Structure 1
Amino acid sequence: MNDLVLTLAADYGVPLLFCVTFLSCLALPVPSSLFMLASGGFAATGDLSLPAVALAAFVGAVCGDNLGYWIARRLRGRVTGWLATRPRRAAMRDRAQDYMHKWGGSSIFFSCWLVAPLGPYVNYVSGLSGYRWSRFALWGAAGETVWVGVYVGLGYLFADNITAISSLLGNLSGFLAALVVAVLLAIWLRHASNARQKKADRKKAAS
């Protein structure tokens, strides 16, 4: 896979990098981080232009983020109607909206780079929850600036060790994403347990 990515990055360069970062932000399984590292490495050797590489990666990521947001936003009415048919689903919808209202900006920003595997799903949740687009676009652009800067920059600085850097960053990002999911699951289980206990207490008091 690494050799294929390096070959494709060398042969197709900037246009392919745009496509890869664009698709990755729609949750499609493409090695966007490795492509950015490889492109940064080729920029260091003079085979690609560093500004062109950074711009292509950034524009592709921002376009992908916003397309994901608007796809979800267009489907919001149908999904919201489906969620409203069951009390538990409606409660989940309300919690998601409350969460995005309180923590939406920081979630969007950090999901772009610190826990990048979760980024596309945060885009969809932002659209489904009705999070304001202007704020989404601003936080998303800020996060993608960091993501592109880190990966293209590391590829440029460590052109001879791209595979090792990619493995290290991939493992770290995957670990952080798994940790975030585990924490959210623990919070959800605790909330569900408390809700069941309160329901049982009300039944016991009524009897």
Structure 2
Amino acid sequence: MSEFSNLLIECFRNYNIWFLSIIIVLQCIGIPTGASLLVMASGAFAYAGEFNAVSLLLEIWFFSWVGDNIAYIMWRFIGDKVLNRHSKIKFYIQPKIFKAKNYLSKHGRSSVFFSRFIISAMGPFINATAGLSRYKFWTFSLFVALGELFWTCIYLGLGYWFGDSFETIIPIVTGFGQFITYIAILIIALYFFIKAIRNKKSKH
């Protein structure tokens, strides 16, 4: 592991769940902090008896849910203020927000849910999009909770299952996550490309 990863793990061992909660919330906002790695490490520590696995699961799940909701609220209210102050940015962004709103009205639940664990790299982007487009908060919060439960169970479970050798699966998990993200981006790009072609044909 890198020196940064070792530093994260050492800080977690010293400051426990409070440090991990900050790391998780920051990642939900969009700052890459290595939260997934740290959750796996916490699972390994639970396997070794340093932490209670059930308590860890509930705490990680809760702070993940809180972090996503903070990100949503931040983009919903701060985003509005920024756009209202800068008319040029608003003129450029507003049509995209309208398209995002239409997309989320059709696919919002699945987008929020699956971006928590299958394509977790898209999570902060979905949080921002949901906030800016004023997607229904309670629907967002519910599917965030469900998706983050899967994310917590997967990464905490991997760390617990592999125990002291959890470091050996980090490259595999990281590579798989990147692969899924690239595939998801490709599918989304193809979807909008095909949709644009159909719209052009329908106009002629």
- The TM-score normalised by the length of structure 1 is 0.85
Match of 1:138 among 130, 135, 142: 142
Match of 1:85 among 91, 94, 106: 91
**CA shift digits 1:151-202 (9 cap, x unpaired):** 1111111112212222211111111111111221223333444555667x5x
Rounded Cα–Cα distance in structure 1 between residues aligned with 2:146 and 2:201 = 42
* Displacement of 1:44: 0.9
* Displacement of 1:22: 1.1
Identity of aligned residues (%): 27
Rounded Cα–Cα distance in structure 2 between residues aligned with 1:136 and 1:31 = 24
Q: Which residue of 1 aligns with 2:113?
A: 109
**CA shift digits 1:35-80 (9 cap, x unpaired):** 0011111111111222332222112211110011111111247548
Rounded Cα–Cα distance in structure 1 between residues aligned with 2:94 and 2:201 = 20
- Residue 113 of structure 1 aligns to a residue whose secondary structure is coil
Give the stretch that moved more between structures: 73-82 or 161-170.
73-82
* Higher Cα radius of gyration: 1
Amino acid at match of 2:169: I
Q: Which residue of 2 aligns with 1:8?
A: 11
What are structure 2's unaligned runs of at least 5 residues? none
Q: Which residue of 2 aligns with 1:181?
A: 185
Q: What is the aligned-residue RMSD (CA, Å)? A: 2.3
Number of aligned residues: 198
Pair 1:22-2:25 in alignment? yes
**Residues 37-186 of structure 1 mapped to structure 2, 5 A cutoff:** 37-74=40-77, 75-76=79-80, 79=83, 85=91, 91-186=95-190
